[in-house]
Structure 1
Amino acid sequence: MAGSVDPPEGTPDGTPEGLPGRGEDEYRPVVFDESFVRAARLQELSARERMGDDTPAVRDRPGAEHVDPALALDRDAAYEYAYDLDRRHHWRPARRHVNGPRRRRHTGARVGALILVLLVATVFAAAIHLGSRYPYQPPPDPRTEPLRVTLVALAPTGPVPGGRPGDLYARSPAAQYRPGAAGIALPPARRTAHFTQGQVMAALTIAKDYLVRSSLDPETLTGGTTRPVRLLIDPDQIAQFDASVDAPAADTPAADGRHATGGWLVRFDPAHATLADPAVRVRGTLKVTEETPDALEVASVHTFAYAVRPPGPGTAPERASLFTVRRELRLRFDRDDLRMHRAELVTSHLQAGPLDCATDLSGALRPLLAGERPRTTTPPVTDPYAPAPAAGTRLCGTLSPAAQPSPR
């Protein structure tokens, strides 16, 4: 296009000459490059050509038909110029084409945002409605069951053999047993469906620690302390443990099959017997299985051979005798137990002898010592109609002569 100047009376918007007016600011971003000018379809007449009365202000530009139609349409869609003779060279862009697509884009964005807000509000309202009608109830935390205990006294058929501890071990089935914790061997640990190999090994290790603390520790065996064993018990069973092992010396735990000292640990009555050799012989097995996806179970079957003698410093070494205890335990471990290094005792089955069948097994053990005979070889009479029969605490069996040391 030909260049244009402001009308003689000043700028169209009334701004004095020399100062930027509103129109100038409004169209300042518009840049007319050479390609834009060449693509225009209209051409402004010169002043001489416009002197005629009926002469139009513009005419079709020669050669416009040779301009690229796509370029011309693009330019025309962006800016459409009209020239007004009455307003003397005042031109204006057709905002209808410039701002129309932008407004449509803004309108579409606002509609999309509104739809998104409505969708989120609908989902939130549905969640509140479902939550009010069907509130979430977490699964109940299963409580640990009390330990179930079975105790069996094994009565000998004759006098109890005596001798030195080493000779007694050598002449008994415990000759091949290993002393102390070395006799409790751990099987290979293999992962299960829901527990790793490390967790399985942790369960086996805790089970071994419990056996060592409750069956081999001299302090536990002689009634010195129970704290090392207590630390390995599940907290839900602490009350039952305390009621079983912390009864006063003049009293015994309740004979109900759940509160018996022998169910938790091996303890000798210090007024009746003491250890003649602290190196207890032991042999047995440990087997681990996955009871549920949340719990492992370890089955422990071990036989312990103790060399015991009467209390007192003046007892001759030849007066020692062997006392045999077979412990069968089921220990359960959930993930919290494995992490906290503790166990839940499910069942405890203990067979011990030589004992008198009349002996109360609820408290500390009172083994028959060298040279002693049982006064009662049959279990006491049990009344099944009694309100609270002493289940699991008045069982008795016969100790096999093969379980005793052989004669010299």
Structure 2
Amino acid sequence: MSDNQPGGKPAEEPEPSVPDDIWEQFTRDTERDIRASAPKEPSARARMVTERLRQQDARGEQPTGWRTDPARQKADDRAVRRRRWWAVIGAPLAIAVAVVAMKPSLLPGDPFGSAGSDETYAATPLPEETAAPSAAPSTADPDVPTLTRPFAGSPAVRYSNGAAGIVLPTAKAVGSFSKAQVQRALQQTKRLLVNANLDPATLRGGRPEAALKVIDPSQKDLLRLLNTGLSRPDEKHDPLRMFSRFNPAELRLVGDVVKIRGRMTFEAGRQETVVVHADYTFVYPLTHADPGATEVARTIVRRVLDIRLYDPAKYQVTPGRISIANYDSSLGNSACDVYDGYLHPGFDSDADSTGASPTGPAVDPYDRSGEVDTKSCGIVTRS
């Protein structure tokens, strides 16, 4: 077959379909893409990493990542523990917050000032009494005492509790007496007051042996008077002048706290002696001994003692004992002209049942600004 066309003329070459400049550009781009996609020799660092991963995989180890990083795992564990901790304390904390919201006075110190009078007074006790007051205590809240709040409505709610209210002054040498001798006399005076007015056995009507042993046995007349009053009380032999006693068949103390307010001082006395002066008020909350009794009454007893310390080198005295020079007392809210050796507080229900109207001068048993009134038996203005 001939390449010549009919007519005997040679055939012409066809024109190229793509221009030369475009074809050259295509060729250059193709060569660049081929070079970019061609396999390259890995770097030394890449070869090291690849080999380490291959070895870890062969040993069954998992490479460190965001799930296996030890530091990350520790942080996750801490977060889990925190969530569990909050789950445990969350409910009790919510309950506590709710309770405090309903009664803020439960917080120590009552920061919101919302506590009742008893709690407020308990948080702010009176400062120590260092001198005779100039007036009676101000009127307290009008609350009625209860078994749970036996001092409600009384100035005694701010008094000290028990023997802690008998604070001894700092001893020092006086005349021929050393500091140690004066200190012993102060301690013996406190022991007498505690055993005569706070000892549970004494308050239940028992014999106050510990108090009697503090008194110098050379005071025979005084001891005879006290012993007679304890065994056979009468108007002339009344143990209540020295001891606080209640009949356990009729009354019982409410709680185990007796409130105390007072002070103790000492000074040089006549004839080379030292005189210790004690002036204290004791407040006793009581209820009837009957089972289920709930009414509360208070008896207030103020006692004043003068103890004289003699020099054993000059006087016939017993070392380590104290001599009572004077003792007085006033009884607030206790029946008058009853000499059975017991205190008898008046209850509101007693007045309601009898309808009797008490007579006599009005007396505030909490007033410590004056002398002790040992003669009158008046109407207490509060108890």
TM-score bracket for the superposition, by shorter chain length = 0.5 to 0.7
Aligned equivalent of 1:349: 328
In structure 2, distance between residues paired with 1:275 and 1:281? 12
Determine if the alignment matches structure 1 residue 315 to structure 2 residue 296. Answer: no
| CA shift digits 1:304-330 (9 cap, x unpaired) | 111111124x133x3222111111111
- 1:24-39 alignment runs, 5 A limit: none
Aligned equivalent of 1:382: none
Aligned equivalent of 1:398: 379
CA shift, 1:347, in A, is 1.8
**Matching residue within 233, 237, 247 for 2:215:** 233
Determine if the alignment matches structure 1 residue 205 to structure 2 residue 187. Answer: yes
1:306 partner amino acid = Y
Distance 1:191 1:198, change over 3 A: same
**Matching residue within 363, 368, 371 for 2:341:** 363
CA shift, 1:264, in A, is 2.0
Aligned equivalent of 2:275: 297
CA shift, 1:208, in A, is 0.7
In structure 1, distance between residues paired with 2:212 and 2:193? 12
Higher relative contact order (CA 8 A, sep 6+): 1
Distance 1:376 1:238, change over 3 A: farther
In structure 1, distance between residues paired with 2:229 and 2:181? 35
Distance 1:208 1:167, change over 3 A: same
Determine if the alignment matches structure 1 residue 224 to structure 2 residue 203. Answer: no
**Matching residue within 177, 182, 192 for 2:174:** 192
Aligned equivalent of 1:325: 301
Aligned equivalent of 2:38: none
| CA shift digits 1:223-281 (9 cap, x unpaired) | 122211110112133453344344577x523x34xx32022211123333221222211
Number of aligned positions between the proteins? 224
Q: Give the RMSD, CA atoms, in angstroms.
A: 2.9
Distance 1:324 1:247, change over 3 A: closer
- 1:263-278 alignment runs, 5 A limit: 263-278=241-256
In structure 1, distance between residues paired with 2:261 and 2:317? 25
In structure 2, distance between residues paired with 1:272 and 1:297? 39
Aligned equivalent of 1:280: 258
Question: Does structure 2 conserve the Cα–Cα contact (< 8 Å) formed by 1:360 and 1:393?
Answer: no
Aligned equivalent of 1:182: 164
In structure 2, distance between residues paired with 1:190 and 1:265? 30
Distance 1:338 1:179, change over 3 A: farther
SS, match of residue 212 in structure 1: helix
1:292 partner amino acid = R
Aligned equivalent of 2:155: 173
Aligned equivalent of 1:55: none
| CA shift digits 1:191-249 (9 cap, x unpaired) | 22222222221111111111111011011111122211110112133453344344577
1:286 partner amino acid = M
For structure 2, which runs of at least 5 residues remain unmatched after alignment?
1-142, 362-372
In structure 1, distance between residues paired with 2:227 and 2:255? 24
Question: Does structure 1 conserve the Cα–Cα contact (< 8 Å) formed by 2:310 and 2:317?
Answer: yes
In structure 1, distance between residues paired with 2:349 and 2:265? 38
TM-score normalised by structure 1 residue count: 0.49
Give 1 or 2 for the bigger CA radius of gyration: 1
- 1:39-58 alignment runs, 5 A limit: none
Question: Does structure 1 conserve the Cα–Cα contact (< 8 Å) formed by 2:284 and 2:299?
Answer: yes
In structure 2, distance between residues paired with 1:367 and 1:215? 16
Question: Does structure 1 conserve the Cα–Cα contact (< 8 Å) formed by 2:145 and 2:152?
Answer: no
2:378 partner amino acid = G
Question: Does structure 2 conserve the Cα–Cα contact (< 8 Å) formed by 1:330 and 1:347?
Answer: yes
2:219 partner amino acid = Q
Aligned equivalent of 1:151: none
For structure 1, which runs of at least 5 residues remain unmatched after alignment?
1-160, 380-391
Q: Identity over the aligned pairs, expressed in percent?
A: 28
